[in-house]
Amino acid sequence: MIELLLGIGLVVAMFVGYNIGGATTGPAFGPAVGAGVISKTLAAALMSVFFFVGAWTIGRRVVDTLGRELVFDPAIFTIEASITVLFFIGLALFVGNVFGVPASTSMTAVGAIAGLGLATNELNWAVMGEIVAWWLVAPVIGFWVSGVIGRYFYAELNRRIALIQTDGSLLTIDRSGSIPSIALGPNTTTRELVGTTVVVAIGCVMAFSSGTSNVANAIAPLVGSGALEMNPGIVIACVAVAIGAFTIARRTLDTLGNDITALPLTAAIIVSTVSAILVVGLSLIGIPASFVVIATTSIVGLGWGRATRTTTVRDSVRGTAEKPRVSVGALAADEEGEELPKIGEENPADIPSASDLFNPSTTARVLIMQNVVPLISTIGAFLVFRFVPVFGW
């Protein structure tokens, strides 16, 4: 019977890992895919490799946090309870992936474990409060840092970086000799190659950070219950994440890379940098990082900052009948590096419209679902553990 329950637990854990791959590949590599830097297949491969590295090195610490510190008594993670927690994590993430919305795996997993802790009166409120506080603060920081960059520094950064994407392949492989050699594409500049490398490298850092914080979401209950050893659990979770990255993640890559905004390469670098710095910072202090939300708010913040160059600060906050725009439409306004007028003196007609580059309905759907999905796991887990007699709490 125990072996059967453990087998069910492993299947559910893999289902969670599969949905983690679908939910986290978009925030990590969506900007690079949206900018046309890499393909979805390459993004999935890079996600798989760097997620494993992060999980194997630092991720085991977060497993201990969720499996032992978030609740006072880890003994509540019976095999039955662990399966139920993982089921609600996987179900909630699956709902987000079906809608093409990259839901926060950390918020969803912590929510399910919190539901168990609430039902058993074993929830460590001090740890929970610290985690939630950073979840509220980090997206605000991401939005405003990106907004300030978009409003005051984006034009200058774009002129200095001058990452104009050229037609044709970025690199070519010469197989005429005994040893194949790699060279720049026929139209590729060195600056374009450097910029492309930077945005992909930042995505790899985010994938690494995802491994450090999100592997726990798939295996922490089973490891905490003692039913699964740490190292085999990490390998199983990473295999499942890779499957999700190559399959269902294509929907979330479209959402963050194309549907919210068509990111120019310079904008992709900024969004990825801001998000990666915040995620790594949170991981260093032991907080399960919700980089899905951080990446989304950074994209919106950067576009808001660019769009409000057509207004003064007072008008951009209050809104006016003549200048009502607060959108991501201006992200490509200086993609060619032209000289811009001073802030507040630009002609709104010179800036692409919201409908060209910014989809408000998609953004609203993303933000709503990113809050609804964790609630599904939290409330569902609490109701089951409180009212289903089989658990006997």
Give the whole-angstrom CA distance, residue 195 versus residue 190: 9
Q: What is the mean pLDDT of residues 87-102?
A: 72
Q: Is the dihedral of CA 150, 152, 153, 159 positive or negative?
A: positive
pLDDT band at 233; cut points 50, 70, 90? very high
- The mean pLDDT of 267-278, rounded to a whole number, is 80
Please check the confidence at residue 194 and state whether its pLDDT lies above 90: no
Confidence check: pLDDT of 195 > 90: no
Residue 163 token pair = 């990452």
Q: Which two tokens stand for residue 285?
A: 């202090």
| Band of residue 256 on the pLDDT scale cut at 50, 70, 90 | low
For residues 105-124, average pLDDT: 86
Report residue 356's pLDDT band, with 50, 70 and 90 as the boundaries: very low
Q: What confidence tier does 250 reach under pLDDT thresholds 50, 70, 90? A: confident
Helix 291-307 with 154-161: angle, nearest 10 deg: 100
Structure tokens belonging to residue 365: 């759907």
The rounded distance, in Å, linking the Cα atoms of 56 and 282 is: 18
Instruction: Say how far apart CA 109 and CA 32 lie, in whole Å.
Output: 27
Region 36-47: mean pLDDT is 88
| Beta carbons of 290 and 107 less than 8 angstroms apart | yes
Beta carbons within 10 angstroms of residue 168's beta carbon: 9
- Tell whether the model's pLDDT for residue 78 goes beyond 50: yes
Contact present, 39 and 237 (Cβ < 8 Å)? no
Residue 63's pLDDT is what? Answer: 86
Query: Does residue 352 surpass a pLDDT of 60?
Result: no
pLDDT at residue number 53: 95
Over range 19-27, report the average pLDDT.
Answer: 82
Name beta bridge partners: 135: none
The predicted structure's pLDDT at residue 337: 44
Q: Which domain, by its residues, includes 178?
A: 2-391
Torsion angle of C-alpha atoms 377, 277, 358, 166, degrees rounded to 10: -130
Q: Of all residues in the chain, what percent carry a pLDDT higher than 70?
A: 70
Looking at residues 30-40, what average pLDDT do you find? 77
In this prediction, residue 206 carries a pLDDT of: 83
Residue 153 has what pLDDT? Answer: 86
Average pLDDT value over all residues in the chain: 76
Give the model's confidence band at 392: pLDDT under 50 very low, under 70 low, under 90 confident, else very high. Answer: low
**What's the CA dihedral at 64, 70, 71, 72 to 10 degrees?**
80
- Please give the pLDDT value at position 203: 85
CA separation for the pair 93, 89 (Å, rounded): 6
Burial of 185 (0-12, 13-18, 19+ CB in 10 A): middle
pLDDT, residue 332, reads 47
Model confidence at 186, pLDDT cuts 50, 70, 90, reads: low
Regarding predicted confidence, which is higher, 105 or 169? 105
| pLDDT score at 335 | 46
Show the 3-state SS of the chain.
Answer: CHHHHHHHHHHHHHHHHHHHHHHHHHHHHHHHHHCCCCCHHHHHHHHHHHHHHHHHHHHHHHHHHHHHHCECCHHHCCHHHHHHHHHHHHHHHHHHHHCCCCCCHHHHHHHHHHHHHHHHCCECHHHHHHHHHHHHHHHHHHHHHHHHHHHHHHHHHHHHHCCCCCCCCCEEEECCCCCCEEEECCCCCHHHHHHHHHHHHHHHHHHHHHHHHHHHHHHHHHHHHCCCCHHHHHHHHHHHHHHHHHCCHHHHHHHHHHHCECCCHHHHHHHHHHHHHHHHHHHHCCCCCCHHHHHHHHHHHHHHHHHHHHCCHHHHHHCCCCCCCCCCHHHHCCCCCCCCCCCCCCCHHHCCCHHHHECHHHHHHHHHHHHHHHHHHHHHHHHHHHHCHHHCC
> Rounded to 5 degrees, what angle do the CA atoms 369, 372, 375 make?
150
- Indicate if the pLDDT at residue 12 is higher than 80: yes
What CA–CA distance (Å, rounded) separates 238 from 244? 10
Phi, psi angle pair for 89, to nearest 5°: -60, -50
| pLDDT tens-digit readout, 304-339 | 888 776 655 455 455 444 443 444 444 444 444 445
What is the pTM (predicted TM-score) of this model? 0.72
Domain count, the chain: 1
